[in-house]
Amino acid sequence: MQSVLFDLDGTLLDTAPDMVPVLAELLAEEGRALMPYDVARGHVSNGSAGLVRLAFPDASTGRLAALQARYLALYATRLTRETRLFPGFDALLGGLEARGLPWGVVTNKPGYLTEPLLAGLGLRHRAACVVSGDTLPERKPHPRPVQYAVTTVGAVPERSIYVGDARRDIESGRGAGTRTIAAAYGYVPPGEDPWAWGADAVVTSVAELTATIDRLLA
């Protein structure tokens, strides 16, 4: 194996402790009832658009756009207030770095949020590449973001791994020709079955992810 790539929200970082409270703040501004934390958490991988659609299902397209813009403005003020690596991930990344294996991020989150988020957590300089949702014209589930990341770190798809907590991640990795791991510990929406996404492996914890990556590297 030559590289390991990760989705961001719900795979590498537990961003829900910042993203869900922002949704609560937006709901309060609009005079709406708050949403249970666990319900909103299950949709964080769908980004700001998915969270706003969940909270305002009756809003028009134009209204949703305005609400999403407000959500993003609020979120930009607290990117790293509560967000952290999932427990055990620092050791996982350290193990990859000790082996000399580059790791990177492929996310649909826009770059103006992704870059300061990773920098604020001391991760940007450690990542061999960061592909955000606006780095290329295409976004996941299109395979090109993962293909671009693999090329950027000097690897080949068949000797790379992509890890994500959404169906679009697995579709993108498979389309790019990488090995894929579904992170079932992440923000999997109700009714979704990570075992049905066609990943090469499904893990339910970071410890299991670490063991699975170690096995593939061996």
The backbone torsions φ and ψ at residue 166, rounded to the nearest 5 degrees and listed phi first, read -135, 155
Amino acid 190: pLDDT = 84
Taken in order of first residue, the domains within the chain and their CATH numbers are: 3-14+82-217 (3.40.50.1000), 16-75 (no CATH)
CA distance 181 to 194: 10
Using an 8 Å Cβ cutoff, are 8 and 114 in contact?
Answer: yes
Respond yes or no: is residue 18 known to be catalytic.
no
Catalytic hit among 7, 14, 165, 169:
7
Using an 8 Å Cβ cutoff, are 15 and 86 in contact?
Answer: no
Tokens of 141: 């589930």
Tokens of 95: 């193990």
Respond yes or no: is residue 214 known to be catalytic.
no
Amino acid 218: pLDDT = 84
Closest CA to 75 of 132, 133, 23: 23
Strands (E), 46-145: 84-85, 103-106, 129-131
Chain segment 83-142, per-residue pLDDT in tens: 999 999 999 999 999 999 999 999 999 999 999 999 999 999 999 999 999 999 999 999
pTM listed for this prediction: 0.96
Chain segment 163-192, per-residue pLDDT in tens: 999 999 999 999 999 999 999 999 998 889
Catalytic hit among 9, 14, 165, 169:
9
